[in-house]
Amino acid sequence: MTLTLGIETSCDETSVALVDHHGILANLVHSQVDVHAEFGGVVPELAARDHLERLPRLVDLALERAQVGRDQVDLIAVTRGPGLAGCLLVGTGVAEGLSAAWSVPLTGVNHLWGHIYAAFLARPDLEPPLLALVVSGAHSDLVRMPEHGRFEVIGRTRDDAAGEAFDKAARMLGLGFPGGPALDRLARTGDPRRQALPKPSLPGLEYSFSGLKTALLYRVNELGDDAGGQVRADLAAAFEASVVESLLAKLDVALEETGYREVVVCGGVAANTLLRRRAAEVVADRARLTIPPLELCTDNAAMIAAAALHGAHHPATVDPSLGWEA
């Protein structure tokens, strides 16, 4: 029974979790939305400072919530990258300190592989080989995972990530920060056909969202004052449909190519309502689809601890200067 303390500080969520082979004992997430809202995006310097203020207290709270003592912790797992350098430094620094003070081994986890491991928390009987669509604020990757700890990126974006595209589109439509969830809500009241936008299509398994983003910008400028309430909802729905269908078209090809029977859709964008519904339709009965619950799609430390528990970690001690590795 390896009780693992997970720490996640790669972007704008401070999170501490305790996970063992039975599942999640505690998973506390502090969102910095209030810190960054007035700037319309994440300010790295403020994010790092806030992590530093919150993290030590969050560790105590997580132990309390899980009702375990620090002497019971067997392993500490921390996100080593990818992410904002200053933010990662806070997480790895605190993790190194705890590791030394408690004499507990420390391991660094790749954030993206962490997102995939959220699916193992959602479905404990899940086993590789699996095909994963990892869609976050900075990545849109199709990943083949033949076994635990092995990841092969078979498709990725040429330019913007899906989450980044949603955030920028939301800004164009005058929605606040964070943009993705706001766009999702607005799109629910729109019709994707009334202001249809092109669906990006590159050969192979590559994604590109920058052309679609430009198309939306032109449309918004053209419409000018006519882009009122319902039109903006229609635009949000059209943009969302183009991103989602593009993501799933490549997932469909990859599924045919690999013939895998397990599919995972994960990362912050996997919280999107349309993506969740359409992924189930596209995968259909060709494979079993696992999409983690919303709170495990967006950044959290339970997924980082789960990755370490399953052995998808780097055995060396953490060196944040190394950035991230596949």
Ranked by CB distance to Zn ion, the top (closest) residue is: 136
Q: Rounded to 5 degrees, what angle do the CA atoms 279, 200, 169 make?
A: 85
- Which amino acid is located at 170 in the chain? A
- For residue 229 the two structure tokens come to 């309430």
CA 83 to chain centre: 11
Q: Binding ligand KG4 by CB under 6 A: which of 137, 155, 190, 292? A: 137
- 117 binds, options ligand KG4, Zn ion, none, Cβ within 5 to 8 A by partner type: none
181 interacts with, out of Zn ion, ligand KG4, none, CB within 5 to 8 A per kind: ligand KG4
Which one of Zn ion, ligand KG4, none interacts with residue 186, CB within 5 to 8 A by kind?
none
Query: Binding residue for ligand KG4 (CB under 6 A) from 167, 234, 245, 262?
Result: 167
134, 117 contact by CB (below 8 A)? no
> If binding is defined by CB under 6 A, does position 136 make contact with ligand KG4?
yes
Residue 12 lies near Zn ion (rule: CB under 5 A): no
267 binds ligand KG4 (CB under 6 A): yes
Q: How far is the CB of 88 from ligand KG4 (least distance, A)?
A: 12
Distance in angstroms (rounded) separating the CA atoms of residues 262 and 60: 37
Please choose, from the candidates 168, 305, 144, 153, the residue with its C-alpha nearest in 3D space to the C-alpha of residue 243: 168
Measured from the CB atom, the residue of 105 and 323 that comes closer to Zn ion is 323
Q: Does residue 301 belong to the site contacting ligand KG4 (CB under 6 A)?
A: no
Q: Which is nearer to ligand KG4, 237 or 271 (CB)?
A: 271
Contacting Zn ion within 287-316 (CB under 5 A) = 299
Nearer Cβ to ligand KG4 (3/138): 138
| Contact between residue 251 and residue 206 where contact means Cβ atoms under 8 Å apart | no
**272 binding Zn ion? (CB under 5 A):** no
Q: What is d(CA 250, CA 258) in angstroms, rounded to the nearest whole number?
A: 12
Q: What DSSP designation does 301 have?
A: S
Strands of the sheet containing 23-31, edge to edge, are 23-31, 13-20, 4-8, 75-81, 106-110
Which region, left, alpha or beta, applies to residue 40 given φ > 0 means left and ψ of -120 to 50 means alpha? left
In whole angstroms, the minimum distance from the beta carbon of 179 to Zn ion comes to 15
Q: Which residues bind ligand KG4 (CB under 6 A)?
A: 11, 136-138, 163-164, 166-167, 178-181, 184, 267-269, 271-272, 298-299
